[in-house]
Amino acid sequence: MRVGRSGVAFVGLALILLWVVLALAAPWLPLPSPTAQDYAAFAHPGPSAQHWLGVDPLGRDTLARLVWGARVVLLLAPLSVLAAYAVGCTLGLLAGYYGGWTDALISRASDVILSFPVVVLYVILIANIGPSAFNIVIAVVLAAAPGVGRIVRGLARRLAAQDFIAAARLRRESGLYIMVVEILPNCRGPLLTDVCIRLGYTTIMIGTLGFLGLGLPPPSPDWGGMVQQAGPMLTVYPAMALIPAGAIISLVLGFNLLADGLSEAP
């Protein structure tokens, strides 16, 4: 793998793997339940022997909520990016390969969605259809698929003009076969970096929605929600908000460093 050659990408991968391992191991780690309230811990909400990273304003163990929250974000972010890619690649291939009115229709519709400031689109969407894991995936697909589609369309247009596609047409291959078997695999390179960047950005978005009060409904552990709930305690116990904020930053940094390493690698 090319990652090995770039120190930056290695650091990124290590950050991501750290959270992946913690998330996978969550049920077996000796941690309190992420939703159990320890009323005795209120007196000293800071780090202690029972609660290594302290507790949140409701007396729930911060470390347990971070680790279980990692499961949420590491499931939701890749799942929604995958779904956005499925829709985006389909639209991009159709627009780029067929051109004409198919292209015009898809491109104009994409332009409308891409004109929205991203956060505004998310807020309006989630505020109206309601906050849930499924609706977050829907929102990411709607917001990100047009961007993916635009990249794939450009690549598909360029590839469609090449000889091997003409050869495939002469062999009377179907449009579906040409798009999926001949064109799509050749888009891999540029899309790989884009996937990493989108994973990082989607992690930011999921955190932001949680912070705005539009994330997963309580009591699910949600990193952005943790920062929001600890906000009023910032003057007294800043660590309560800073720890989950640090968790989000480390994961996003991981995705972005990996993206940088992948794009610089030869």
Partner 1 sequence: MPAGSLLALLARRVASLGLTLLAASFLVFMLTQFSPANVARETLGAYALPEQVRALTRSLRLDDPILLRYARWGGVLLGLKADPLQDPRLGLHFTDPRGARYFGNFGYSTLFRAPVADVLWSRLANTALLGALALAVIVPLSLALGILAGLRPGGLLDRLISVSAIAMTSVPEFALGVILVAIFSVALRWLPGTSPLTTGAGWPLASQLVLPVAVLAIYDSGYVARMVRVAMIEVLGQPYIRTATLKGLSRRQVILRHALRNAMIMPFTVLMLQINWLIGGVVVTELVFAYPGFGRMLLQASLFGDVALIEAATLIALSIAILTQLLSDIGYWLLDPKARG
Give contact residues for partner 1 (rule: CB under 8 A): 8, 108-109, 111-112, 115-120, 123-125, 127-130, 200, 204, 207-208, 211-214, 224, 227-228, 231, 234-235, 238, 241-242, 245-246, 248-249, 252-253, 256-257, 260
Nearest approach, Cβ of 6 to partner 1 (angstroms)? 11
Structure tokens given for 139: 């929102």
Q: Which is nearer to partner 1, 128 or 185 (CB)?
A: 128
Nearest approach, Cβ of 244 to partner 1 (angstroms)? 9
Give the type of residue at 183: I
Q: Which is nearer to partner 1, 86 or 127 (CB)?
A: 127
Nearest approach, Cβ of 32 to partner 1 (angstroms)? 25
Q: Which is nearer to partner 1, 165 or 240 (CB)?
A: 240
Q: Which is nearer to partner 1, 182 or 261 (CB)?
A: 261
Nearest approach, Cβ of 242 to partner 1 (angstroms)? 6
Q: Which is nearer to partner 1, 156 or 241 (CB)?
A: 241
Q: Which is nearer to partner 1, 46 or 238 (CB)?
A: 238
- The answer to whether residues 15 and 261 touch, using CB atoms and an 8 Å cutoff, is no
Helix 62-98 and helix 238-264: axis angle, to 10°? 40
Nearest approach, Cβ of 48 to partner 1 (angstroms)? 21
Nearest approach, Cβ of 154 to partner 1 (angstroms)? 16
